[in-house]
């Protein structure tokens, strides 16, 4: 039995893959690296990204198997995936099959890497977050020349981050949105020898019977019975990861925007209540909100231009999913997509309302 376990992480930026390629080659010096289309989008693929790692246990079930790692990185939100793949014997498969879900594998499994026993979840900090150069981003943003956070400072910071990290970070009100998010992704069990028995825990989701199953408890665990469809299904799962990244990243940034807008309310309300007639204050407030509005517009248009990705069903050539699964999946994605655009509209509405006092004050002075 062969297993592919995907873990994923994204950041709040658009990455220039070509310009970051030299760094990628130094970060993975022993790996084969290529740029090509995969899962319906151009990306950088790093084969055999990590050497000499073994899986010691999965949720207290002992297993001693070699882990192989491939790495995929995309431009949109800097989405990066680690595809952990390994092969186990039937005896080991019988022991781990009921515990092979994304959270158990990530949090409760132990691997040996760099001669140290550690949680598989450490791959986030040791590989994914380091590849994002998050420490360097914080270091640049914390330089004295940017601490006053003037409009000029933030524009210079934006350009500095582009030059140094080859990333166009989204900015909220007065700073880059520097958060990083990581989570478990799908698991694809390639039962090439038909060793896993099908019981009530599995739902047949292939157009042809006894081809592909989905775990009823963990919707991101798939069991493939026909190994010749592996490549198509693997790409389909990566498309699902791209969709998750876009939806989750949009939700996080919308929440960040609302928090920043909320924090600005007290100051504006206080100045209105105290009848502040300082023209400089109201002029600066108006410019601040105009920049905020443009920052949000950049984010909004990026998300909107990828609207089709959110609700699409992954394309396959030879393999066909069942009609019921396709319908269920599209409905699930449609609800998530609608929620994203509702949040975007709420942020847009909030910024418009935040700008109202400045416009009202201008009319009063006029």
State how far the Cα of 59 lies from the Cα of 100, in Å rounded to an integer.
Answer: 9
Token pair, residue 333, equals 């994605």
The pLDDT value given to residue 264:
87
- Global pTM exceeds 0.85: yes
Number of helical H runs and strand E runs in the chain: 11, 14
Give, in order, the Cα–Cα distances in Å from 213 to each of 197, 204, 206: 11, 4, 7
What does the pLDDT read at residue 281?
87
Please count the other Cβ atoms lying within 10 Å of the Cβ belonging to residue 32.
Answer: 11
Q: What pLDDT score does 94 carry?
A: 77
> What's the rounded Cα separation, in Å, for the pair 135 and 158?
16
pLDDT one-digit tens code per residue, 133-154: 999 999 999 999 998 888 899 9
Smallest Cα–Cα separation from 153: which of 164, 137, 142? Answer: 142
pLDDT at 366: 44
User: What distance in Å separates the CA atoms of residue 204 and residue 213, rounded to the nearest whole number?
Assistant: 4
Q: How far apart are CA 243 and CA 312, in angstroms?
A: 9
Convert the pLDDT of each residue in 108-123 to its tens digit. Answer: 899 999 999 999 999 9
Residue partners of 284: CB distance under 8 A and separation at least 6: none
Structure tokens at 143: 């330089």
Those residues whose C-beta lies under 8 Å from the C-beta of residue 279, and which sit 6 or more positions away, are 365
pLDDT, tens digit only, all 366 positions of the chain: 899 999 999 999 999 999 999 999 999 999 999 999 999 999 999 999 999 999 998 887 888 899 999 999 999 999 999 999 999 888 777 777 777 888 888 998 999 999 999 999 999 999 999 999 999 999 999 999 998 888 899 999 999 999 999 999 999 877 898 789 999 999 999 998 888 889 898 999 999 999 999 999 889 999 999 889 999 999 999 999 999 999 999 999 999 999 989 988 888 888 888 888 888 888 888 888 999 999 999 999 999 999 999 988 999 999 999 999 999 999 999 999 999 999 999 999 999 988 887 565 555 544
pLDDT at 274: 86
Name residues whose C-beta falls within 8 Å of residue 261's C-beta, 6 or more positions apart in sequence: 173, 347, 350, 351, 354
Sign of CA dihedral 138, 140, 146, 147: positive
The structural domains of the chain, with segments of one domain joined by +, span: 2-132+167-242, 243-365
């Amino acid at each position: 039995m062969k297993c592919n376990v995907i873990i994923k992480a994204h950041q709040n930026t658009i990455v220039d893959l070509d310009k970051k390629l030299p760094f990628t080659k130094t970060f993975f010096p022993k790996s084969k690296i290529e740029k090509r289309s995969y899962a319906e989008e151009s990306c950088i693929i790093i084969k055999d990204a990590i050497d000499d790692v073994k899986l010691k246990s999965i949720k207290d079930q002992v297993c001693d198997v070699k882990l192989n790692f491939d790495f995929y990185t995309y431009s949109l939100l800097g989405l990066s995936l680690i595809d952990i793949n390994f092969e186990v014997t039937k005896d080991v498969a019988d022991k781990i099959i009921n515990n092979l879900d994304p959270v158990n594998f990530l949090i409760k499994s132990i691997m040996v890497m760099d001669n140290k026993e550690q949680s598989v979840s450490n791959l986030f900090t040791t590989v994914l977050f380091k590849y994002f150069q998050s420490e360097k981003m914080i270091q640049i943003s914390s330089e004295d020349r940017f601490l006053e956070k003037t409009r000029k400072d933030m524009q210079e910071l934006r350009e500095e981050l582009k030059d140094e990290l080859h990333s166009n970070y989204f900015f909220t009100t007065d700073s880059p949105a520097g958060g990083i998010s990581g989570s478990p992704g799908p698991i694809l069990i390639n039962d090439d020898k038909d060793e896993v028995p099908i019981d009530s825990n599995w739902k047949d989701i292939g157009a042809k019977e006894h081809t592909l199953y989905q775990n009823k408890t963990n919707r991101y665990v798939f069991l493939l019975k026909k190994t010749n469809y592996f490549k198509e299904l693997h790409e389909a799962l990566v498309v699902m990861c791209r969709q998750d990244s876009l939806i989750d990243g949009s939700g996080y940034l919308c929440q960040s925007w609302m928090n920043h807008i909320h924090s600005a309310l007290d100051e504006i309300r206080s100045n209105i209540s105290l009848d502040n007639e300082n023209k400089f204050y109201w002029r600066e407030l108006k410019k601040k909100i105009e920049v905020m509005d443009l920052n949000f517009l950049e984010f909004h248009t990026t998300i909107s231009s990828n609207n089709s990705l959110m609700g699409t069903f992954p394309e396959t050539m030879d393999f066909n999913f069942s009609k019921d699964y396709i319908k269920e999946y599209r409905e699930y994605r449609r609800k998530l997509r609608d929620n994203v655009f509702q949040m975007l509209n709420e942020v847009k509405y909030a910024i418009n309302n935040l700008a109202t006092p400045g416009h009202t004050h201008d009319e009063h002075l006029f």
